[in-house]
């Protein structure tokens, strides 16, 4: 079985001697019909989507090409740890944006929109669904006060403005970094079953303002301009008009995402979605600085500004379990650290098989927290392979500890001097755990104190 996502669909990997495929189960036949129809059409247009090998007679099960496990978000997260938001990440995004206009414009022309589910277009009703989803599952649960009638009036004004944009294109609907797979140096698109007719700006907004991807604003501008250059290969573009509508679609996309975070996080108690809230608020705050829409939406604007200042939301974004994970770097010369929780146990990882930067004069006065040492370890040792194995072991334990309500776990990294390899490993694991689990992390570099 593959890990569940935000939907109720189930996926598994099936294998024989020759190959693997992905098996999908979804009881929603209308949604499956849309996905299968879109996929067959996209394949005729030579678009990078998974091939369909077989479909059950009840249309609830189907087999797909296995595109591996690396999403654009996975690649971004791992690469960013060592390189920041580097040219390698931007290059992958540009591969995506090179294909997106073809999907929207070329494939969108002859698509059978009659199979779209639940709506054939991102129309007034679709927008009002999203806006009310945001109102009931986010605003109310976040305890943001508002005038219901005034807000409804603004929703109507706002949606009418967005509907005035050219919308005769394919709208992917959930075009974000977790729905793009990377395989064999190519990009592939998945999870477009909610697609329908709509405006070009929405999918671009979804990708560039994808919450946890946290794309720097300067990179957003670069990618925005790159997309427009690619789009102009398929149709003429008025950049000023496109940009004006783009801001509006960014806003409705952020509100739609917040509705999902509220439903999946507050209501279904899925921690992953709660962790996305601070990123959405950051995007919203930036957008409100220069929104400049040609329509008046005073109540909605007031509510959105209150959101960015909400102390309740700041606390929600920091929700933790009762599990504290103590990560310590140490020198074997001074012995393995004691566990102050009194539970004993935990992990002790020996880093001494990793190439030691401390043998080189230029690194002797530095530690594993310094960029020069980090670069040495990443380029001249197998530290990443070592840490991948560590993460696999720790993942298994943390999940069980959370399920069983345990309160403490100790993880120790030792090397010769407790200065380079162990410090680097402890730092990277602490960052990984904080980004993936609702726990408190205590990080200690014993020999640096």
pTM, two decimal places: 0.72
How confident is the model at residue 319, as a pLDDT? 54
Give the chain's length: 449
Pairing state of beta strands 61-65 and 180-183?
Answer: unpaired
How confident is the model at residue 440, as a pLDDT? 82
- List the beta strands (DSSP E) in 35-166: 52-55, 61-65
Q: Which residues are within 8 A (CB) of 127 and not within 5 positions of it... i.e. 6 or more apart?
A: 155, 158, 159, 162, 163, 252
The CATH T-level fold of domain 72-315 is Aminoglycoside 3'-phosphotransferase; Chain: A, domain 2 (3.90.1200)
Closest by CA to 246, choosing from 291, 212, 311, 308, is: 291
β-sheet bridge partners, residue 245: none
Average pLDDT over residues 305-331: 81
Which residue would you say has higher pLDDT here, 2 or 297?
297
**pLDDT for 90-100, tens place per residue?**
999 999 999 99
> Mean pLDDT for the chain?
93
- Return d(Cα 391, Cα 207) in angstroms, integer: 28
Residue 375: Cβ within 10 Å count: 13
- CATH 3.30.200.20 in the chain, residues? 10-65
Strand order in the sheet with 408-415: 347-350, 408-415, 324-331, 440-445
Does the pLDDT value for residue 8 go beyond 80?
A: yes
How confident is the model at residue 320, as a pLDDT? 59
- CATH 3.90.1200.10 in the chain, residues? 72-315
Average pLDDT over residues 415-421: 96
β-sheet bridge partners, residue 14: 21
CATH placement of domain 10-65? 3.30.200.20
Does the pLDDT value for residue 399 go beyond 80?
A: yes
DSSP of 233-286: TTS---HHHHHHHHHHHHHHHHHHHHHHHIIIIIIT--HHHHTTHHHHHHHHHH
Pairing state of beta strands 440-445 and 408-415?
Answer: unpaired
β-sheet bridge partners, residue 55: 62
- Return d(Cα 328, Cα 337) in angstroms, integer: 8
**pLDDT for 245-293, tens place per residue?**
999 999 999 999 999 999 988 877 777 788 788 889 989 999 998 888 9
């Amino acid at each position: 079985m593959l890990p569940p996502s935000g939907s109720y669909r189930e996926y598994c990997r099936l294998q024989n001697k020759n190959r693997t495929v992905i098996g999908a189960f979804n009881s929603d036949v209308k949604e499956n019909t849309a996905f299968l129809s879109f996929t067959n059409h996209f394949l005729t247009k030579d678009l990078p989507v998974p091939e369909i090998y077989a479909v059950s007679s009840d249309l609830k099960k189907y087999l797909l090409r296995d595109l591996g496990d690396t999403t654009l978000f996975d690649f971004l997260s791992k690469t960013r740890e060592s390189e920041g938001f580097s040219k390698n990440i931007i290059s992958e995004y540009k591969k995506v944006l090179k294909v997106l206009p073809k999907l929207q414009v070329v494939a969108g022309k002859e698509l059978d929109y009659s199979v779209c589910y639940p709506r054939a277009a991102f129309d007034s009703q679709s927008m009002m669904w999203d806006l009310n989803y945001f109102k009931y599952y986010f605003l109310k649960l976040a305890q943001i006060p508002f005038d219901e009638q005034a807000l409804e009036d603004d929703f109507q004004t706002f949606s009418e403005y967005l509907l005035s944009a050219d919308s005769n294109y394919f709208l992917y609907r959930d075009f974000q970094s977790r729905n793009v797979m990377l395989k064999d140096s190519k990009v592939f698109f998945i999870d477009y079953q909610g697609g329908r007719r709509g405006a070009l700006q929405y999918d671009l907004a979804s990708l560039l303002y994808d919450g946890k991807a946290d794309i720097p604003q300067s990179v957003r501008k670069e990618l925005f301009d790159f997309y427009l250059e690619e789009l102009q290969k398929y149709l003429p573009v008025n950049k000023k008009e496109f940009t004006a509508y783009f801001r509006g679609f960014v806003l409705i996309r952020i509100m739609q995402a917040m509705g999902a975070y509220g439903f999946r996080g507050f209501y279904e108690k899925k921690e992953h979605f709660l962790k996305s809230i601070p990123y959405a608020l950051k995007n919203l705050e930036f957008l409100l600085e220069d929104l400049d829409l040609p329509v008046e939406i005073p109540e909605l604007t007031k509510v959105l500004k209150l959101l960015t200042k909400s102390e309740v939301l700041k606390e929600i974004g920091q929700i933790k379990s009762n599990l504290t994970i103590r990560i310590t770097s140490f020198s074997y010369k001074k012995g393995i650290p004691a566990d102050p929780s009194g539970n004993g146990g935990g992990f002790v990882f020996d880093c001494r098989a990793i190439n030691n930067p401390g043998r080189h004069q230029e690194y002797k006065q530095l530690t594993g927290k310094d960029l020069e040492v980090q670069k040495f370890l990443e380029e001249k040792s197998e530290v990443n392979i070592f840490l991948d194995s560590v993460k696999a072991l720790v993942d298994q334990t943390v999940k069980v500890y959370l399920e069983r309500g345990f309160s403490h776990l100790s993880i120790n990294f030792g090397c010769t001097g407790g200065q380079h390899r162990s410090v680097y490993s402890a730092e990277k694991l602490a960052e990984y755990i904080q980004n993936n689990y609702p726990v408190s992390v205590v990080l200690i570099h014993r020999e640096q104190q």
